[in-house]
Amino acid sequence: EPERSWTPVRVTARPRWATLGPAPTHDPALLRWVAEVADLTRPDRVVWVDGSDREWAELTDRLVEAGTFTRLTAYPDSYRCVSDPGDVARVEDRTFICSPDRRDAGPTNNWVDPVAMKATMTALYDGSMRGRTMFVVPFCMGHWDAQPPMLGVEITDTEYVVASMRIMTRVGLRALELIDGGAPWVKALHSVGAPLAPGEADVPWPCNEVKYISHFPAERAIWSYGSGYGGNALLGKKCYALRIASAIARDEGWLAEHMLILKLTSPQGRVHHLAAAFPSACGKTNLAMLAPTVPGWTVETLGDDIAWMRFGPDGRLWASNPEYGLFGVAPGTGWRTNPNAMRAIAQGHTVFTNVALTDDGGVWWEGMTDEPPAHLTDWRDRDWTPDGTDADGRPLDSAGSPAAHPNSRFCTPIRQVPVLAPEYDSPEGVPISAILFGGRRRTTVPLVLQARDWTHGVFLGATISSETTAAATGQVGVVRRDPMAMLPFLGYDAGDYLAHWLSIGAATAPDLLPRVFHVNWFRRDADGGFLWPGFGENARVLAWIVGRLEGTAGAVDTAVGAVPGPADLDLTGIDLDPDRLAAALAVDHDEWRAELPLLREWFDRLGPSVPAALQQQLRALADRLEDG
Ligand code: PEP
Ligand code: MN
Ligand code: NA
């Protein structure tokens, strides 16, 4: 290994940052940017993050000392953290796509002129890191050997973000070597906006009431301010790998999608890879590591949130997971619902945010076990008991509220998933046989249906509807349209995005394209009970999908697509009420006719850039429902 000569950073504008100490890069643009940011934000010191084990130990020690992390005793090298109660989720109303032309942000995004946004945020960043350490985090989304490697550098002023980025992405000096070699990279700037006056004590979760999550797709840059929460602050994830990457993918002819990736092996040993898009907190993590109940089938995990899909030399779409960790929704994750996630967590090296603490140094959240422990420290650090009273029967402040925040999270290395597919770490990814779209709907949408062709599949994706969840701030349980589950993550105009999907379909032979399906695990009966048992039983739906790919499974052709009859599903070993199954699979024309005005309204809202081929799909659906 040749000795590395580290370049001192020089700035001319403000003499204070004449040197930042030795920097492990020669790249002039990177050195200039780091110096400019330090010059503006005025941290006490600048630290280049190298991804080493020693650095992890120092970061976690400091977070424990600061009172941000509680070291858990139930799991090795694991930590529990509670956020400021006002900083618990992505803030979609504070998220901006700052394209030079307003039209390019489209009707689904907040837009501010990039020059105006930079002026506003520069004023906020001025001195915003005073009293803090400014970390420079070089990272790679996806494999280091991917062609091309997708690099970024995040500047942040909290150890929490550095520790979490180290779990969620490939962090290290190798990114700087690639940048030194001339590879392009994304500038990702983050500050919690909580400067400290000299001698001022810090709080465990610094943040600011004012929040901006801004994207500059034309220059591939991200500016985030005011929040420490995952999707707002771990900028490699939603901001880069979805919003910025979707704009790059449009320009370069590939897809950056909000999808899990899984490998499915049939009892005959045949392998298919599936990608599936569901809105946040609709079970992507559970499906990605599903433990099948149907004998002979195996599911292995490749990713649980993001898929990048590019054409391979064979003309098929190949998907890879740009992430290196899981940032999963904790509530609802338990030994019964997702044993593989529980096993991943049990290995340790995990950061839990806004979960409850058990008296024996472990964590708990709603749905982890059927019975809650007799006493917990809730996510607000208050005493919590199942009946909401203390030992003397007096009501607790926490009475009536969940012990864990509904959007509490576990952040864990993907390598700990016991059913990880070895290909998760392949630079090329895996060829995709089927794409699934899904949402959370109590009515109307059957358990599974198959699109007639690619264009119909794009129509199904374009019109995904789902009841909102706690993953974003705002009302929960409202039905909203969520194209390809990308509504909060589109880096450009929604209609242009749908046109891009159609162009992907036209770029290869139809036989080589993934087949498209739509699923809904969440249909209910009149009393609110789920019609389909879900979780491991969803393998029966995956088996039917494979049967369709291989031409062995039957289906009923309906107005909305091909739907299995009860006899087309493998139901061995499960005792289902036939009426409930029929209700889960039913295509009710009255329900669908009621959907039509909502679909028209949705396309009207997206405006004139909605491709004519999709308007045509809507008219054809209306015609089929008329005839039926
Ligand atoms: C996040 O907000 O960091 C995140 C992972 O988002 P979601 O689970 O809501 O998609
Ligand atoms: Mn997600
Ligand atoms: Na979220």
Q: What tokens were used for 353?
A: 């945010």
- Ligand 1: residue of 409, 440, 476, 482 to mutate (most ligand atoms within 8 A of CB) is 409
Give the span between the Cα atoms of 114 and 111, in whole angstroms.
Answer: 9
Domain boundaries, given as residue ranges, for the chain: 7-67+90-252, 255-324+420-627
Catalytic member of 98, 207, 282, 411 = 282
Give the span between the Cα atoms of 527 and 444, in whole angstroms.
Answer: 15
User: How confident is the model over 505-521, as a mean pLDDT?
Assistant: 97
Q: What tokens were used for 315?
A: 């003309």
User: How confident is the model over 257-270, as a mean pLDDT?
Assistant: 97
pTM of the model: 0.95
Q: What tokens were used for 572?
A: 């061995």
Answer yes or no: is pLDDT of 224 > 70.
yes
Give the span between the Cα atoms of 427 and 409, in whole angstroms.
Answer: 28
Strand locations in 499-603 (E): 515-519, 556-558, 561-563
Query: Among 257, 312, 308, 252, which residue's Cα sits nearest to residue 498?
Result: 257
- Ligand 1: residue of 237, 412, 486, 490 to mutate (most ligand atoms within 8 A of CB) is 237
Answer whether 327 contacts ligand 1 (Cβ < 6 A): yes
Residue 424: pLDDT band with limits 50, 70, 90: very high
Decide: helix, strand or coil at residue 624. Answer: helix
Answer yes or no: is pLDDT of 12 > 60.
no
Residue 20: pLDDT band with limits 50, 70, 90: low
Read off φ and ψ for residue 265, nearest 5 degrees. Answer: -115, 130
Answer whether 90 contacts ligand 1 (Cβ < 6 A): yes
Specify binding-site residues. Answer: 90, 229-231, 238, 258, 280-286, 305, 407-409, 440, 535-538
**Contact yes or no for 156/228 (Cβ under 8 A):** no
Residue 86: pLDDT band with limits 50, 70, 90: very high
Decide: helix, strand or coil at residue 66. Answer: coil
Count Cα neighbours of 392 within 13 Å in the Cβ-side half-sphere.
Answer: 1
**Contact yes or no for 438/277 (Cβ under 8 A):** yes
Decide: helix, strand or coil at residue 284. Answer: helix
> Is the domain 255-324+420-627 a CATH 3.90.228.20 member?
yes
Is 98 catalytic? The answer is: no
Q: What's the CA-to-centroid distance between 591 and ligand 2, angstroms?
A: 29
Q: Which amino acid is at 388?
A: G
Q: What tokens were used for 83?
A: 């956020």
pLDDT at 14: 46
> Is the domain 7-67+90-252 a CATH 3.40.449.10 member?
yes
Query: Among 132, 154, 125, which residue's Cα sits nearest to residue 48?
Result: 154
Specify binding-site residues for substrate. Answer: 90, 229-231, 280, 407-409
Give the span between the Cα atoms of 514 and 398, in whole angstroms.
Answer: 49
Torsion, Cα 338 339 341 342, to 10 degrees, reads 120
Measured by CA distance, the residue closest to atom 8 of ligand 1 is: 280
Answer whether 429 contacts ligand 1 (Cβ < 6 A): no
pLDDT at 628: 61
* CA angle at 248 for the pair 244 and 253, rounded to the nearest 5°: 145
Do the domains 255-324+420-627 and 7-67+90-252 match in fold? no
- Model confidence over 166-205: pLDDT tens digits? 999 999 999 999 999 999 999 999 999 999 999 999 999 9
- Model confidence over 522-568: pLDDT tens digits? 999 999 999 999 999 999 999 999 999 999 999 999 999 999 999 99
For residue 93, the tally of other CB atoms under 10 A from its CB is 11
